[in-house]
Amino acid sequence: QVQLVQSGGGLVQAGGSLRLSCAASGSIFSINVMGWYRQAPGKQRESVAIITSGGITNYADSVKGRFTISRDNAKNTVHLQMNSLKPEDTAVYYCKADLRMSMRGDRRDYWGQGTQVTVSS
């Protein structure tokens, strides 16, 4: 089995910073893309930032220049440093890993449990 466990998040004032972390554990052969997604009340889940195993990143336009995604392949972890936070960043944030459990196994997406980020104005 595979688990993604998130940490971080919480309540911060506008302009502040938070750091999210996500650790994947279990029977993992390889992880391709890891990423962060968010879902605000009444809205669909959206991609925030993704990073490949080679370190290529992609960000939503709304967070470019403010958020930074990073990963440690040896530890199967991914982080999201969020700076200059805005009230519109308020959402539940989820990490996701696209991984294989064996060399010939199918690639599957696994999700973290979600963590609330609230930015007050």
Structure tokens at 22: 């996500």
Among left, alpha and beta (phi > 0; psi -120 to 50; other), residue 10 is: left
Sequence-distant (6+) residues with CB within 8 A of 6 are 20, 21, 22, 93, 94, 95, 112, 113, 114, 115
Question: pLDDT tens, 8-52?
Answer: 999 999 999 999 999 999 999 999 999 999 999 999 999 999 999
Please say whether the beta carbons of 42 and 115 come within 8 A. no
User: Counting Cβ atoms within 10 Å, is residue 96 exposed (0-12), middle (13-18) or buried (19+)?
Assistant: buried
Please say whether the beta carbons of 21 and 8 come within 8 A. yes
Question: pLDDT tens, 59-87?
Answer: 999 999 999 999 999 999 999 999 999 99
